[in-house]
Each structure stands twice: as structure tokens, then as C-alpha cells.
Homo-oligomer: A and B are copies of this chain.
Amino acid sequence: MAPLESITQSLASLSIAPSASVTHAAASSPAAWREALESSEGAPKSFELVKTIVYKPKTAKTATPVPLVVIARENTDVISAALGRKLNLKELRLASEDLLAEFFAVDKHSLSPLALNENNFSKVAVAVDTTIEESSSTFAIRGLTTEATLFITGRELVSYLKRLETKEAQINLVDFEALKTEAPAATPAAQPAKKEKEDAKIEGAVQIAIGVKKEVDFATWYTSVLTKADMIDYYNVSGCYILKPWSYSIWEIIQGWFDAHIKELGVQNAYFPMFVSAKVLEREKDHVEGFSPEVAWVTRAGSSDLEEPIAIRPTSETVMYPHYAKWIKSHRDLPLKLNQWNNVVRWEFKNPQPFLRTREFLWQEGHTAFLTKAEADKEVRDILDLYRRVYEELLAVPVIPGVKSEKEKFAGGLYTTTVEGFIPTSGRAIQAATSHCLGQNFSRPEMFDIVVEDPNDITGKGKIYVWQNSWGLSTRTIGVMVMTHGDNQGLVLPPRVASVQVVIVPCGVTANNRQEMNDKCEELASMLRKAGIKARADVRDGYTPGYKFNDWEQKGVPLRLELGPADLAKKQTLSVRRDTGVKAPLALGEIAKTVPQLLETIQADLFKRAKEAYDSRLKTITNWGEVVPALDSKCVVAMPWCEEEACEDDIKERSGRSSEPQDERAPSAGAKSLCIPFDQERFPPIEPGKTKCTACGKDAKRWTLFGRSY
């Protein structure tokens, strides 16, 4: 990695030799970073993470800001208000990504003391945790990337910084511990609002699941939930994650449901090779342009170089369609409806995120061919509705079905339909699944030439190039579900996708009654399983009920049943809902009826709450002035739109530019069109020639959703 090398060289010139330097999976949260280092072979056994935080003090609008760089131990509490007072800086706020890029040429996750150099040192203020100064412990610091880390001692770190000092610019050594005791007394009211980052840490976090709050540090919360709920593990190839049984079982449930439904539509499963020759891959120019920057190439086998590099499928249009041309010889061979469940590879260089953006992922891809456009159009919508149902009926995640704008449609296709999800916590929309009509773009003679005789042409000379669709649903589903329902105790699973729907925990256990209580719990579990419920008794020895409660809450099990001697005496069990925490006793005799009902209620409530959240953040707007403020307050905008590409570019530009991020976590990208909802009825009618596009003032065509998105 080039930057790492140059850093090591420049450290060497200061006689500082890192005790180790390692590359690892991209890690954008402290938890993930530590994970990555712990699973990295080259890393020392023991080390401490260094955190680097940049604040922007309040200055006059016209003044050049002087950012404050704080370098501290991972566990040091940095209270910005107290620090500001000490250094005489006003209203410290976390710096925006733009500022970081401008001053240090890095993103926030790659930030490190090494971002300070001779060029920028004089333009910033620096505060260093005094406990680092003389420490001979080993500290991990970012190699200016999320994928590399250097290990040096505290002494070496401070020595590096001191070399940068000039008469005008010196580092401030700060005793943050001392600052902490001063702080509250000085500004008891002002402080809480100022230390957002610290608020993200939940008090008493040792005893509860997730160490950071969903509302405050969403990205860290997300990865923390995924690892603590035992859904994923990090892997030493960047952008790849291990799907552990707790998440893979969700995928199996989705697979089972969707597979049965497409088979009812006459779709058959098949398997095509994962390898594509360059020549075939590059047949459809528009299509390949969409994927080629992300294609992984195999160039060697054993110790032999391949004559020609072979691509790993990013999707299978070009793999399959040469064969469709061969198999479809007559209109009697239509419709052809194939699907495959497989893995695909898109070597993204952006920051990966488990489930949402990974280099290898699992999905299904359906590829169908029809004689007529009408049949293709119908199937596009039939499949999209199955996607909607996967989200709404299985995952309890509301989505809005619609059609993509020309700019956002599938590369090489005719039109794309989509179900669009929304994550209220980040205020970002997410493309949940897409069903494309490819039209005749892939079947035309200069492409794959998939053609049959027109059965209705009496001259016998007419030809029809087939109408094609492709449609895909991926493991992204799981990430959207986690983001939607999870809370500060961890994962919350909708009952229909939970591999354990009910956990039974024995309570009030003593040495004398242990066996009896365990047996009763197993009995109860067995009764529930007979009623078709996925139930498990947690009779593990050596764990307290409290530990078990927490463990299963973290993992999102929808319903807990507590069973103790007192419950048994009353022939009841205490039920505790994961989603609401509501407790209610259930009579043991009616359990086979009440538990399934309760699970269905939980499923319905989860959906209802998520739907209300989505609806409340969907703003119907006809005045441009309200658009950016709505986006900034984490909403999605529905507005009458002209549907012109230039206008869409313009909206992105204007909404991106005008959004001055208030802290580093605010979404900074411009808004793009999400979809033109099929359900136009929910909005006021568009009056042709009268209703104008909210963005450009031309005639509006349809209500369209715009938002910042994943």
C-alpha cells in the first residue's frame, strides 16, 4: 500500500520505527478496527487504539477556520465543552468531511495523528492526551487509510508531533481526566448538548448489549449489533464478511419463501458458471460500463498464467444470453424463465459495509424471455410485488414500489422498477430490490440475437426479438431489516424470519430444583415446537438468568418466556416482548394458541411502527425552498417532477451544495431520485400544464421521491 510505505519512510527519517505495520479489512468503526487488528497476524498481542477527533470552533463566517485536532487514548473521555474553555475556543463541533478533506486529505475513518504534517501543522490547533506523552505502551494508529495500521509507542507518537512544532504552533498536552471533573461545574447546562460523541456511549454499557446509541453513532451501532448478535464476523479479505448461522438462517427463510413463489410463476432454477470470458462480458457496452470498474479478474491457475483473463460474474446477463439465443429457436420455446441462487462479485472501492455494500454477496437473479412486451411488463410487476412482500410481510420493513428515472435505471435495460426502503435513523433511502425490463436491448441482432419467427405473421417472414426481464434480491435485505428494527439493546428480529422465535429461560433455579426446572422448560419448548413455533429452552449451566436475558435480547429473539417455581405453581409463564419490553403472564394451558397470536402481533406491530416512521418522514413538497431543509431533517421528499435528466443532475447539485453538514455524521451527498411511485393516488393530482416541477418550474409529470441514499 503506497501511503503506508511513504509513512514508514518518513517515520524512519525521524528514527521512529513502528514495532509493526499491518494491512487489514477496511474498518470504519473502533469496534471493527479492533476486530480487524485482533484477527491480523502481524499485530502485536497487546495494544491500545488511538482516537483522533477534529473539531471546528465557531468563527466568523468569513474567517478561515482553525480546526482543533485531538489525539487521545481510545477510552479517554473527551469533553468538548471543557476542552474548548481550556483552549479558549468557542463552541467546538465535530468537523465536516469537507473540512477533513481540505485540511488533511483524508476521510474521518482514516484520520490519524499522521495526518498532521509540515504543510498543515501551522494551520491547526492540536491537543494531545497527556497520558500518552511518556507512555511506552504500544498504540495503534491509522495508516491514513481504514485498511492499514502502524504500531508505535506513546513516546514515539508525541516525539513525531513535536518535530512538527514551530515557534507559532505547538501541541497542547491536556489532562482530560482532570478536565472532566472541572467541566460539569463550569457549564452545567451547556455541556450535554456539546459532547455528542460521548453521548453515543451508553452509560453502564458493560451490562447492556450495544456500547453506543443508535441515534448518535449509527455506523458504529450497526457494526456493533451485527457482531454482538452473532450475525457476521469480519474477514481478512477487505469487503468480505462471514455470514454466521444467525444471519444466514434469515437468508434461508427468504429463499424458501421467494423460491416457492417464483416456482408458482413457472420459473425454474438453474446454475450457470461464475466465470465469464472478457469477450462475452464486454458484448453489451452500456451494460458493461456499469460494471467493469468493479470486475474481479482471474489471471492465473496454479502456477500457470491463463491465456486470457477470465472475469468473475458481477451479474449474469452476458453469461446467460448467448445460451438463450441457442435455446430459443421458436415461439414455442417461450416464455423461458430461469433463476439462480448464487454469489456475485463487485469489487467496490468505496467503504464496504456488511450486507449493504460487500465485494462478494449472495442473491438470486432471475432472467426471463417473452414473446410480447405485455407479458414482460406483467412479470416485472409480479416479481416486484414479491419483493415488496419479502420486505413487508417477512422482514416487517415498509417499502415504496415505483419506477426508476432514466438516470437511475439498470445499465442497458429499458426500464427499472424498484422497491425503495428508508432508514429513519440516518434519514437515507435505500434501494431494496429491483426488477428490470430489459426490453429488446439484449436480444437485438447486434447483441445476443435472440429471435424467433413471428407466429402471427402469415408471410412467415416476420421476426420477433424476444422481450427480456432480469430481477434480483440480495442479502442486503438483512442489513435493511437490522437497521430498521434494531435498538440500543441490539437486534430485533421479526418473528417470521427468526430462527428462534421464542426462548424459554428457567428462573429461580436452585441446586435442588435445577433438573426439574430445566425439564419443565424443555417440555414447554417441545409443546411450542409441536404448535409450529421455533422455540428453544436455554438450560445452559453456569449462566445467570440475567446473562441469558441479555444474550437473547442482543440476538433479537422476539419473545422470551420466563419460567420459575412460582410460575409453575400458578400454571403460567411470564412473557417478555423483545420489541416493546412489555411483560405479561400467559397460562401454560393455552400456550399453543396465545404464543402464535402474540408473535403475529409482534410482527404486525414492528411493521406498523416502521411504516409510521417512513410515512412521517415522507414530505410532500411543492416549494423548492422546503426541499433542502426537509432533507437536512432526515426526510425523503415527494414532489411533482418534470422527469428530465438535466433537472435531476441539478437537484443533486443544489441539494448537495446547500447542505452544510452540522457534524461529521450528517449525510453530505446530494439527493437523487429514488423512484416514481406507482401509487400516485396518495398525492394531490397533477394537473397537466398547471402543476410545475418543484425543482425547475417546467411542467411536472408525476410525483417523484427524492432523497439522500445509501
Contact = CB atoms under 8 A, between A and B. Distances in A.
A360 B233 contact: no
A407 interface: no
A327 B245 CA distance: 13
A145 to B, nearest CB: 12
A300 B309 CA distance: 9
Contacts of A251: 271
A47 interface: no
A273 B323 contact: no
A298 interface: yes
Interface in A24-74: 39, 41
A294 B300 contact: no
Contacts of A279: 41
Given A39-B326, A296-B300, A307-B23, A245 B274 contact: no
A444 to B, nearest CB: 17
Interface string A615-643: 00000000000000000000000000000
A299 B305 CA distance: 11
B292 A296 contact: no
Interface string A300-315: 1111100101101000
A122 interface: no
B39 A322 contact: yes
A305 to B, nearest CB: 9
A277 interface: yes
A237 B293 contact: no
B273 A235 contact: yes
Contacts of A293: 302-303
Interface string A306-338: 010110100000000011001100001000001
Contacts of A296: 298, 300-301
Contacts of A274: 343, 345, 360
Given A275-B360, A307-B1, A270 B243 contact: yes
B301 A295 contact: yes
A271 B242 contact: yes
B273 A237 contact: yes
B233 A275 contact: no
B301 A347 contact: yes
Interface string A463-499: 0000000000000000000000000000000000000
Interface in A252-299: 252, 268-277, 279-280, 292-299
A245 B273 contact: no
A265 B292 CA distance: 44
Interface string A137-155: 0000000000000000000
A166 to B, nearest CB: 36
B280 A236 contact: yes
A252 B269 contact: yes
A297 B300 contact: yes
A571 interface: no
Contacts of A362: 271
Nearest to A237: B275
Contacts of A299: 297-300
A323 to B, nearest CB: 6
A163 interface: no
Contacts of A244: 270
Given A248-B271, A297-B300, A301-B347, 8 more contacts: A233-B327, A237-B273, A242-B323, A243-B272, A248-B270, A274-B343, A296-B301, A298-B299
Q: Which 7 A-B pairs have the closest CB atoms?
A: A301-B347, A245-B268, A240-B273, A243-B271, A297-B300, A293-B302, A237-B275
5 contacts: A242-B271, A249-B268, A296-B298, A297-B301, A312-B312
